[in-house]
Every structure is written in structure tokens, then in C-alpha cells.
Amino acid sequence: MVLSVPAAAVTLLVVWIYPSYALYFHIGETEKKCFIEEIPDETMVIGKYRTQLWDKQTGSFLPSTPGLGMHVEIKDPDTKIILSRQYGSDGRFTFTSHTPGEHQICLHSNSTKMALFAGGKLRVHLEIQVGEHTNNYPEIAAKDKLTELQLRVRQLLDQVEQIQKEQNYQRVSKEAIRGVVSSGCSGLRLTALLFVWQYREERFRMTSESTNQRVLWWSIAQTFILIVTGIWQMRHLKSFFEAKKLV
């Protein structure tokens, strides 16, 4: 198949503007792929996907196939379904979390062209953006008419807000965060604070591991003692009764 130069230029322009969902994976016909997002509450999540079907004739993936659909199902931390919808071969879904925790995003194909699926391969490009990554800064700049510096500060504010929300979700003192941020020396102090938490977490993990080991060894020892005591009891009593000429 050949293209003339103007058509090639148009194609180049189209793919330049066309969003590139870089990462992709293969999915089977009835396979369900689930992704987990652990997020604080009031966080926006945008998911974008693009599907491509394997074409046996050309031996490659077709750019886009109409009639191919994906069913998207999103569950909140209480396993309640908050979104369950059928999308086309290119889809964009969005939701805002109302409870903090693990949200599950499941995708499975609901293809109408089962015959074409004989090759068994469907390529899915996926991109999930969470929280402040969902903000489109050029759009915000145009809408609120911000200068470059104002936009940068706006981005920093969004980032700090996300950090704060995550920390609240992890139940760390809000006062500590506010005090550190307002003191003006942002990145370094926050990193230092995080190292403290990491150290605490490391200590907690080592304690858990040692507890695990201790419980295991104690259980084994206890079983052993129990069996030995039982056997000894039996033998002693038997010999006792034999001695007393009762058996």
C-alpha cells in the first residue's frame, strides 16, 4: 500500500496530534484484566484505552477496528460497582473516588466479531492518570489566563495538595505537614520527614517478621511438647498400673 507525499504529511500531522497511549499489552477473548488504584478520596481518575485487532491477512495489527468493544467495570473499596459500561474500540472513562482505598478497574472485551477473533490476539493500549496528572495545564493557563510563573506555582500547589491528601489517607499528622510546608523549605524537609516514616515502617516490618518467626517456632515447640507429654503420661501410667498388679 502506498501514499502520496501530501497524504503522508497529513498522516504525520494526524499521528502527531493523535494521543499516544504508549504502553500496551495483549488480552485474550474472554480474559478479564484488572488494575488496582489505591487512592485517597475526592481524587479524579481518567483512563484511556485503544484497542487493535490482529489481522491474519496482513500479519499485523490493524490501526483501529470498528465493532470492537471493551466492557469497563470499576469497583470502589467496598466492592460496590461505581461504573459498568460498554465502550467502543477507543474509550475514555473517568471517575472521582468518594471513599479512600483500593479501587479496581477491570477490562474485558465484548467483541461482536467473534469470527475475527480466531487469531486470539487483541492489543490494548492503556493509560491511567490519577490526581494531579489529570490536570491539563495548557488548558488551565488558557482558561484562567495565567502567566508562566503563575502556572508553575499552580502546578506546585496541585502537587502539594496531592501529597497532603495522600498523607491524610495514611493517617499521619496533618499539623506536621502544614507546619513543614509553611516554613518555606519544601522539598528537602518533606523528604527528610519521609525518611523518618520509612525508618518507622522498616522497624515495623522487622518486628512483624520476628513475630512471625517466633509464632512459628513456638507452635512447633508446643506441638512437640504436647506429643511427648502425652506419650510419657501413657507409658508411666501403664507401668504404674502393671506394678500395682491392676492390669
Partner 1 sequence: IAVPLCPGGRCWWRWAFLLCGWVLGSELTFELPDNAKQCFYEDIIIGTKCTLEFQVVTGGHYDVDCRLEDPDGTTLYKEMKKQYDSFTFTAGKNGTYKFCFSNEFSTFTHKTVYFDFQVGDDPPLFPNENRVTALTQMESACVSIHEALKSVIDYQTHFRLREAQGRSRAEDLNTRVAFWSIGEALILLVVSISQVVLLRSFFSDKKTTMTRVGS
Q: Which helix (H) or strand (E) holds 162?
A: helix 148-169
Query: How many C-beta atoms lie closer than 10 Å to residue 105's C-beta?
Result: 20
Contact of 41 with 130, CB cutoff 8 Å: no
Q: Could you give phi then psi for residue 174, rounded to 5 degrees?
A: -65, -35
When binding is defined by CB under 8 A, the residue of 57, 80, 114, 148 that contacts partner 1 is 148
Give, as ranges, the residues between 204 and 233 that touch partner 1 (CB under 8 A): 204-205, 208, 211-212, 215, 219, 222-223, 226, 230, 233
Q: Could you give phi then psi for residue 35, rounded to 5 degrees?
A: -125, 145
Q: Which helix (H) or strand (E) holds 157?
A: helix 148-169
Q: Which segment (67-75, 76-84, 111-119, 120-128) binds partner 1 by CB under 8 A?
A: 120-128
Q: Which segment (49-57, 71-79, 89-97, 191-199) binds partner 1 by CB under 8 A?
A: 191-199
When binding is defined by CB under 8 A, the residue of 156, 221, 225, 228 that contacts partner 1 is 156
DSSP state of 64: -
Q: Could you give phi then psi for residue 5, rounded to 5 degrees?
A: -60, -45
For partner 1 (CB under 8 A), the number of binding residues is 73
- What is the C-alpha to C-alpha distance for residues 105 and 36, in angstroms, rounded to an integer? 6
The reply on whether position 78 binds partner 1 by CB under 8 A is no
We find the least distance from the C-beta atom of residue 71 to partner 1, in angstroms, to be: 17
We find the least distance from the C-beta atom of residue 5 to partner 1, in angstroms, to be: 5
Give, as ranges, the residues between 58 and 77 that touch partner 1 (CB under 8 A): 58-60
**Nearer of residues 32 and 112 to partner 1, judged by Cβ:** 32
C-alpha dist (Å) from residue 94 to 59, 76, 127, 184:
34, 13, 12, 35
We find the least distance from the C-beta atom of residue 11 to partner 1, in angstroms, to be: 6
Q: Which segment (72-80, 87-95, 113-121, 201-209) binds partner 1 by CB under 8 A?
A: 201-209
The reply on whether position 29 binds partner 1 by CB under 8 A is no
